C-alpha cells in the first residue's frame, strides 16, 4: 500500500514493501528503506519500534481514503492510495476547469453512491454535486464553476464511465 503522511512540515511519501512472520514490516519512506517492528497490536492501538525508538499509535478515524491517528500524542493523517488521489486531482484540474464548459464530467469510472445537490440549485466552484465509488474508494465530484445546476444526468446507483456527463451547470 502506498501512503502519504500529512500534518508535518513536509509531505512524506511511503509504501509498505513486505511483512514478515517475526512482526517486522519493511517500509520505504521518502525513498529510504526502514524496518519497523510491531510490539503490540490491539483493535485501534499499536506499539512499534522504528529506528531504535519506541512509538505508540492510536487510530482515531479510518476511512477508505485516509486514516487519522495520534502518534506519540501528535495528530497525524495518512492518505491511502496516494497515486490514485494525485491522478484524480490532476484530472479534475485539467478537465472542466474552463468556465465556458457547461458539462460536469466523470474523471473515473464508478457507481453513483450519493447525489448531494438538486437540480435548480445555485452552486459555487468546489461544491460537492455527487459522490462516485471506484475501487472501493468514494470520490466527491465537485462543481467546476459557479452557476445554476440545470440538470443532473445520472441517478443514484447508476454506473458511469470516464468522461460521462454527470450534470450541467450554466
Q: How far is CA 112 from the centre of its chain?
A: 17
Confidence (pLDDT) at 31 = 87
Q: In whole angstroms, how far apart are CA 110 and each of 2, 65, 95, 127, 157?
A: 21, 16, 17, 20, 10
Q: What's the mean pLDDT when you consider all of the chain?
A: 81
Q: Render pLDDT for 30-40 as a digit per residue (tens, 0 to 9).
A: 889 999 888 98
Is the pTM here over 0.75, yes or no? no
Spatial separation of the C-alpha atoms in residues 158 and 106, rounded to whole Å: 13
**pLDDT, greater one: 114 or 84:** 114
Confidence (pLDDT) at 98 = 40
* 131 and 141 Cβ atoms separated by less than 8 Å: yes
State yes or no: pLDDT of 13 exceeds 60.
yes
Portion of the chain with pLDDT greater than 90, in percent: 29
Q: Which of 136, 131, 129, 134 is nearest to 150 (CA)?
A: 129
Taken in order 71, 73, 74, 79, the sign of the CA dihedral is: positive
Q: Which of 69, 119, 22 is nearest to 129 (CA)?
A: 119
Confidence (pLDDT) at 97 = 40
Exposed/middle/buried for residue 82 (C-beta within 10 Å: 0-12, 13-18, 19+)? buried
Portion of the chain with pLDDT greater than 70, in percent: 79
**What average pLDDT does this structure show over 68-75?**
87
**What average pLDDT does this structure show over 46-58?**
90
Q: Render pLDDT for 86-140 as a digit per residue (tens, 0 to 9).
A: 555 555 544 444 444 788 988 888 999 999 999 999 999 999 999 999 888 888 9
State yes or no: pLDDT of 85 exceeds 90.
no
* 49 and 37 Cβ atoms separated by less than 8 Å: yes
Amino acid at each position: 500500500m502506498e501512503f502519504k503522511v500529512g500534518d508535518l512540515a513536509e509531505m512524506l511519501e511511503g509504501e509498505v514493501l513486505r511483512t514478515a512472520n517475526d512482526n517486522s514490516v519493511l517500509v520505504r519512506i521518502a525513498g529510504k528503506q526502514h524496518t519497523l517492528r510491531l510490539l503490540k497490536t490491539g483493535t485501534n492501538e499499536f506499539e512499534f519500534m522504528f529506528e531504535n525508538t519506541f512509538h505508540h499509535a492510536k487510530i482515531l478515524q479510518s476511512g477508505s481514503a485516509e486514516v487519522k491517528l495520534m502518534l506519540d500524542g501528535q495528530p497525524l493523517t495518512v492518505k491511502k492510495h496516494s497515486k490514485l488521489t494525485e491522478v484524480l486531482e490532476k484530472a479534475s484540474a485539467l478537465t472542466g476547469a474552463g468556465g465556458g464548459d457547461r458539462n460536469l464530467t466523470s474523471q473515473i469510472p464508478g457507481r453513483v453512491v450519493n447525489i448531494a445537490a438538486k437540480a435548480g440549485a445555485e452552486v459555487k466552484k468546489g461544491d460537492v454535486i455527487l459522490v462516485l465509488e471506484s475501487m472501493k474508494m468514494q470520490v466527491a465530484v465537485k462543481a467546476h464553476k459557479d452557476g445554476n445546476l440545470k440538470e443532473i444526468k445520472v441517478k443514484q446507483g447508476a454506473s458511469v464511465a470516464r468522461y460521462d456527463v454527470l450534470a450541467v451547470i450554466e
